[in-house]
């Protein structure tokens, strides 16, 4: 990672922490902000994937996969934007599913890293925190502001791990 990328990661992480703190203090309006942030983020990711397909991956082996991935992510963005008018309990169920899935993936990645002999502790901690947040959503599912608090905690959690990974040395592999 270049120095410019490290500084960019740190700036984005600090803005994410500020957004998380803002959501802690504005839980009522935070629900609508969360839906908007998720849908905008998914739209950007989907468009980036489609642009990548048309600029680079169109002639690559397996390049259509990035096009299909972009379409699916755009569909997820539309689905997330449609969650604006439904009861908050469905958003909590959606949030539980996302945290369980991402936590399971991180724990499995940590397990694979441990098998390969590389560092696995940060991945394991991040996966455990995701599953803990999903359990907190389940326990406090009746409270209307739980989703906002859990999402804000998740934002702060991911920002902290992003800052930590920005300061880690990256290995450069040279082919001889």
pLDDT tens digits for range 37-79? 888 988 999 999 999 999 988 888 888 999 999 999 999 889 8
**What are the structural domain ranges in the chain?**
3-166
Q: Residue 48 has which token pair?
A: 């980036």
Positive/negative CA dihedral, 115, 119, 124, 127:
negative
Q: Residue 47 has which token pair?
A: 């468009």
pTM equals: 0.70
Q: How many CB atoms lie within 10 A of CB 93?
A: 14
């Amino acid at each position: 990672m270049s120095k410019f990328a490290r500084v960019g990661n740190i700036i984005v992480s600090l803005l994410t922490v500020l957004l998380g703190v803002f959501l802690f203090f504005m839980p009522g309006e935070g629900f609508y902000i969360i839906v908007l942030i998720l849908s905008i983020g998914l739209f950007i990711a989907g468009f980036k994937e489609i642009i990548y397909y048309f600029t680079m991956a169109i002639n690559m082996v397996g390049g259509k996969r990035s096009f299909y991935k972009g379409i699916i992510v755009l569909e997820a963005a539309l689905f997330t934007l449609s969650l604006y008018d439904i009861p908050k309990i469905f958003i909590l169920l959606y949030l539980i599913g996302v945290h369980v899935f991402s936590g399971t993936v991180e724990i499995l990645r940590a397990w694979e890293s441990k098998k390969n002999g590389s560092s696995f502790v940060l991945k394991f901690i991040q996966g455990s925190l995701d599953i803990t947040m999903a359990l907190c959503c389940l326990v406090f599912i009746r409270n209307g502001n739980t989703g906002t608090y859990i999402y804000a905690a998740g934002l702060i959690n991911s920002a902290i791990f992003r800052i930590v990974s920005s300061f880690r040395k990256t290995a450069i592999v040279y082919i001889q």
